[in-house]
């Protein structure tokens, strides 16, 4: 029900259904505040160095920030602005777009999977399919009026960046530059516009609890003013501090499988705070449903047998959404 949206009302106390058990709470005072994830400057003319930095980041953190990534600043700012405008729409307008059915390609929803989960998360989100654009844009919200144009431009730019990163990630694994793009087939692209309102008790709940992303590659535009993303590194949560004009890149489960476990799809989470709302725009590149996924042939050998079996994204995605978000790593269910 649309009444479950948390961006439509002001909350002075955290409702019981959002409160985590003692053992599951974020323990914000134990988070490493200033460790940060690797930063890669894509304008560096030494391409071999960039490829090496990306390879190192993919195996050490599964996460990195990119600077000088080619996305025009005005496109990024416009997307962030229209996302804020969207979440300021009236409750009636939002109710028209609300759904809690994960199978719906366009939906305004809340938490993660309200139908299945026992404890909710302090997040509302708008989920969109973005490729091919001509097919999906007509289903997107018509309000605020610039929404469709602004987000379409953002999606196209993000897709190009994703493909550039694929080439560099392929090269860093010793694969042909076009390997990842080709092997994942005609890629779907999804977007989650995440809005985390101010939360009365941030130490008792999550915006998003620990999860890995089920897709291939995620490109995240974060709120420059408000931190909240944390990444698990050697058993500790480290805060990702937003850098001006940067984008955060992380590998999803499909690139961990493709790399035969050399690269990691790392646990991450979003925490909330009581001072300011936070927005993030996540773009997910997803393999085509019809291709065979699993470790790249070239990375399998006598000394490195295949860690994962072959499967399709259709099979993987259904499994992912049938679980709780913070259960065991979904790839564990696809081991050889």
Q: Please choose, out of 38-46, 143-151, 212-220, 298-306, the segment that lies near Ni ion by the rule CB under 5 A.
A: 212-220
> Contact, 265 vs 215, CB < 8 A?
no
- Token pair for 150: 């602004």
Contact with ligand OGA (CB under 6 A) among 209, 228, 287, 295: 228
- 280 is a contact residue toward ligand OGA (CB under 6 A): yes
Return the number of the residue (213 or 223) whose C-beta is nearest Ni ion: 213
Return the number of the residue (175 or 331) whose C-beta is nearest ligand OGA: 331
Return the number of the residue (220 or 330) whose C-beta is nearest ligand OGA: 220
Return the number of the residue (197 or 252) whose C-beta is nearest Ni ion: 252
| Residue showing tokens 């790399």 | 259
Dihedral of CA atoms 163, 195, 225, 160 in degrees, nearest 10, equals: 10
Contact with ligand OGA (CB under 6 A) among 58, 195, 268, 307: 268
Contact with Ni ion (CB under 5 A) among 157, 213, 223, 326: 213
Q: Of 283, 310, 314, 312, which is closest to residue 297 (Cα–Cα)?
A: 310
User: Cα(180)–Cα(174) distance, rounded to whole angstroms?
Assistant: 11
CA distances from 301 to 107, 304, 306 (A): 44, 5, 8
Return the number of the residue (193 or 293) whose C-beta is nearest ligand OGA: 193
Contact with ligand OGA (CB under 6 A) among 192, 193, 249, 293: 192
User: Cα(107)–Cα(105) distance, rounded to whole angstroms?
Assistant: 6
| Partner from ligand OGA, Ni ion, none binding residue 194, C-beta < 5-8 Å depending on class | ligand OGA
CB of 227 to ligand OGA, least distance (A): 9
CB of 121 to Ni ion, least distance (A): 12
| Residue showing tokens 């909240």 | 228
> Contact, 266 vs 213, CB < 8 A?
no
> Contact, 108 vs 99, CB < 8 A?
yes
- Token pair for 306: 């295949």
Size of residue set near ligand OGA by CB under 6 A: 11
Return the number of the residue (83 or 171) whose C-beta is nearest Ni ion: 83
CB of 205 to ligand OGA, least distance (A): 14
Q: Per-residue x/- marks for ligand OGA, 59-78, CB under 6 A? A: --------------------
Number of H helices, E strands in the chain: 8, 12
Helices 47-60 and 147-172 cross at an angle (nearest 10°) of 90
Residues contributing to the site for Ni ion (CB under 5 A): 213
Residues contributing to the site for ligand OGA (CB under 6 A): 192, 194, 208, 213, 220, 228-229, 268, 270, 280, 282
């Amino acid at each position: 029900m649309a009444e479950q949206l948390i961006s439509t009302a002001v909350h002075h106390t955290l409702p019981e259904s959002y409160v985590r058990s003692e053992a599951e709470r974020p323990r914000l005072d134990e988070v490493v505040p200033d460790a940060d994830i690797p930063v890669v400057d894509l304008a560096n003319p030494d391409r071999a160095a960039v490829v090496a930095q990306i390879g190192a980041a993919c195996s050490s953190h599964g996460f990195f920030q990119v600077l000088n990534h080619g996305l025009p600043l005005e496109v990024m700012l416009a997307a962030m602005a229209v996302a804020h405008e969207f979440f300021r729409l009236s409750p009636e307008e939002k109710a028209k777009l609300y759904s809690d059915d994960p199978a719906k390609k366009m939906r305004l929803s809340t938490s993660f999977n309200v139908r299945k989960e026992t404890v909710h998360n302090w997040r509302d989100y708008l989920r969109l399919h973005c490729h091919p654009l001509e097919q999906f844009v007509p289903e997107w919200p018509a309000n605020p009026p610039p929404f469709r144009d602004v987000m379409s431009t953002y999606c196209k730019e993000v897709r190009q960046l994703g493909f550039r990163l694929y080439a560099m990630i392929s090269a860093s694994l010793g694969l042909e530059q076009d390997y990842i793009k080709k092997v994942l087939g005609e890629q779907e692209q999804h977007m989650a516009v995440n809005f985390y309102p101010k939360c009365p008790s941030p130490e008792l709940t999550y915006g998003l609890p620990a999860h890995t992303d089920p897709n291939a590659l995620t490109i995240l535009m974060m709120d420059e003013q408000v931190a909240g993303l944390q990444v698990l590194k050697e058993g500790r949560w480290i805060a990702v501090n937003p850098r001006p004009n940067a984008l955060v890149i992380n590998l999803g489960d499909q690139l961990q499988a493709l790399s035969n476990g050399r690269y990691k799809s790392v646990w991450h989470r979003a925490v909330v705070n009581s001072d300011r709302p936070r927005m993030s725009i996540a773009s997910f590149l997803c393999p085509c449903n019809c291709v065979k996924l699993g470790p790249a042939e070239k990375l399998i050998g006598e000394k490195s047998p295949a860690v994962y079996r072959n499967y399709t994204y259709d099979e993987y995605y259904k499994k992912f959404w049938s679980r709780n978000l913070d259960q065991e790593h979904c790839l564990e269910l696809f081991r050889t």
